[in-house]
Amino acid sequence: MSPVRGRSRSATQGSSRSAERVAATQHVWVRDDATSYAAECEACLYARDPVPPREAQVHGTLRPRADVGFTSCRRGHRIVVRRIGRALASAV
Ligand SMILES: [Zn+2]
């Protein structure tokens, strides 16, 4: 008796990429004491014709008193800049 079992590997890794998450406007969170920010535009990074991360860079400044700001990347994607400290503080 030889318990030989035929191992049949069924390694089917379903790699399904969906670009649906890009549809939402990207939010960049800025620290409470920060007046400038830098981020990468996700819409650019995950676009069908993606740009190198270097070119997806978005940066700007947010006034100390401002809680929210708006900017756009080089390709024109809208990005919302939000200050993280007060948003959390007011939520508690
Ligand atoms: Zn973009």
Distance 80 CA to ligand 1 centre (A): 12
CA distances from 71 to 13, 44, 51, 58, 76 (A): 38, 14, 18, 8, 9
CA–CA gap between residue 23 and residue 25 (Å, rounded) = 6
Distance 65 CA to ligand 1 centre (A): 26
Distance 12 CA to ligand 1 centre (A): 33
Distance 13 CA to ligand 1 centre (A): 30
How does pLDDT run across 29-73, given as a tens digit for each residue? 999 889 999 999 999 999 999 999 899 999 999 999 899 999 999
Distance 45 CA to ligand 1 centre (A): 7
Write down the pTM of the prediction: 0.65
Cα 90-31-50 angle, rounded to 5 deg: 115
CA–CA gap between residue 69 and residue 59 (Å, rounded) = 12
Every domain of the chain and the residues it spans: 23-91
